[in-house]
Structure 1
Amino acid sequence: MRDNNVEQALKALKKKMQREGTFREMKRRNHYEKPSEKRARQKAEAIRRARKLARKRAQREGLLPRTATARR
């Protein structure tokens, strides 16, 4: 904490937890998840990751224009 600024430290912590997926994990573990629901969720997450990777690869190769959020 800088200058005893609790709000700034809390904001930084929340941002870090959001990036790491801690909130999503806590929400997911709150209730029982059936094995079929777990498989469906994992499949959807894998598809999402693959699409994101393909989109980034296409942007790097110049096939897609870079968006305002994709600065790298």
Structure 2
Amino acid sequence: MQVLVRDNNVDQALRALKKKMQREGIFREMKMRDHYEKPSEKRAREKAEGIRRARKMARKKLQREGLLPPTPKPAAAARPAAR
């Protein structure tokens, strides 16, 4: 993984690196490898993840077909304005 540092701005490069690592799932994998997970716990977790994924895909499909209203996005007014 590579991040370019522009104008000696290390903070910005670090933020970009963290975002890339988050997208790739590296933090989640590190957390999972931190402690031993019993095979039964692993099966239960993977099954729950699969169910969650299937439900999400079904919900998205129904939304595309117009049978469900789209999920509301967070309002821009809730964020403080940058000045």
Q: TM-score when scaled to structure 1?
A: 0.83
1:7 matched to 2:5? The reply is no
Partner in structure 1 of residue 28 of structure 2: 24
Partner in structure 1 of residue 53 of structure 2: 49
**For residues 48 and 4 of structure 1, what CA distance do their matches in structure 2 show?**
42
Partner in structure 1 of residue 68 of structure 2: 64
Write the letter of the residue equivalent to 2:31.
Answer: K
Task: Note the C-alpha offset of 1:41.
Answer: 0.7
Cα RMSD (Å): 1.4
CA deviations 1:15-62 (Å, max 9, x no partner) are: 121122111110001111100000011001111111111111111111
Aligned residues: 69
Partner in structure 1 of residue 78 of structure 2: none
1:35 matched to 2:1? The reply is no
Quick one: percent identity of the two aligned structures?
A: 80
Unmatched tracts of structure 2, length 5 or more:
75-83
Unmatched tracts of structure 1, length 5 or more:
none
Q: TM-score when scaled to structure 2?
A: 0.74
Look at both structures and tell me which one has the larger radius of gyration over its CA atoms: 2
